[in-house]
Amino acid sequence: MTVAITAVGADAATAVAPGGSTRALLGTGVVLDREGHILTTRTVVDTNQVQVVFSDGRTAVATVVGKADSATGLVVLQVGATIPQQPVFARSARLRAGDFLVSLGTSMRTLDRTVDVGIVAGLSHKATLGTRQEVDNLIRTDAAAPEGAIGGPVINLKGEVVGISVGEVASQDGWALILPAETARSIAKRILSGGTGPQASLRVSTVTITPQLAKAEGLSQQSGALVNAVLPRSPAAKVLRPRDIIYSIQGRAVDERHTLNSLLAAYRPGQRVNVQFFRNGLVNEGTVVLATEPSPAETPVSSEATP
């Protein structure tokens, strides 16, 4: 379920809502659960006077439960009402280039829903979303974010949420950026458990193992996250080495690097996680104290990204 988020603020556009009342539109959000939690972005919620407008015109005052790290800028709100209808979240890791996407937003003038259709133009995109810290694992689409779409859901043709609109690429092509659904939900879970602040990181760079890569590199496994660089003097350097294949974090399967990123998003720096991995075809495991995300200058050189 998509909701409009409104507030009274000098920088917000004025919208005429159903019934003729005037509100200031900030953006869009997506319902997380029946307890009234709503996920959006920090760029939308810049005031304590926040209202949520449902598609049937009902309104509810929302409070800010918590904010994530400044890199992703996700925020969880809560309204004091039970929400019977929740969206279905899909695994965005299953997306492939060329898949169709629908981006949902809110009209700045009428609070009606807006849509734009496009395709997946790229996966594993890196960008800076309003801070100096880069965000990895973004989905790039040519479905230019429609009016009021920031903070709102992006769905597949089945109507399942595959991500959250978080920004646009400054170019004539009008690319929009999407945070994958798994990552967004993991961050929301961390916020709801009281964990705000920087996102946790292993400080290693990984690539997804494909059958082609496994054959070319002579790897023993056909899936997982292949470590191709480890940040020197990081906690993970005591456990992991290049060419290790991570297949589990805290007992949860890692079938590719996107899954690894999503699992880590639920943790905070300083927490310990059990990492299971293959080394030279043999099963290994170790405990790693998670660190903060490395700065761009610290990031290990990699063809992909750094979880």
Domains of the chain (ranges, CATH numbers): 2-79 (2.40.10.10), 92-192 (2.40.10.10), 200-292 (2.30.42.10)
DSSP 45-71: --SS-EEEE-TTS-EEEEEEEEEB-TT
pLDDT for residue 17: 45
The tokens of 55 are what? 């598609």
pLDDT value of position 303 = 44
Q: CB-based contacts of 202: which residues, under 8 Å, 6+ apart? A: 234, 236, 240, 260, 264, 275, 288, 290, 291, 307
212/82 Cα distance (integer angstroms)? 48
Task: Give the C-alpha distances (Å, rounded to integers) separating 283 from 235, 252, 275, 289.
Answer: 20, 15, 11, 20
| Tokens, residue 149 | 């779409």
What is the model's pLDDT at position 275?
A: 96
pLDDT in tens, the chain (307 residues): 777 777 543 333 444 444 444 455 577 889 998 888 999 887 767 665 688 888 777 888 888 888 776 567 788 888 887 787 788 888 877 888 889 999 888 876 677 788 889 899 878 777 666 555 567 778 888 876 666 778 889 999 999 999 998 876 554 456 788 888 988 888 888 888 776 666 788 989 888 888 888 888 888 788 899 999 998 888 899 999 999 999 999 998 898 887 888 788 778 888 899 999 999 889 999 999 998 876 655 555 554 445 5
What residues does 155 pair with on adjacent strands?
Answer: 102, 161
State the pLDDT at residue 145. 64
Contact 130, 73 (CB under 8 A): yes
Largest CA distance in the chain: 67
C-alpha–C-alpha distance, residues 124 and 304, integer Å: 7
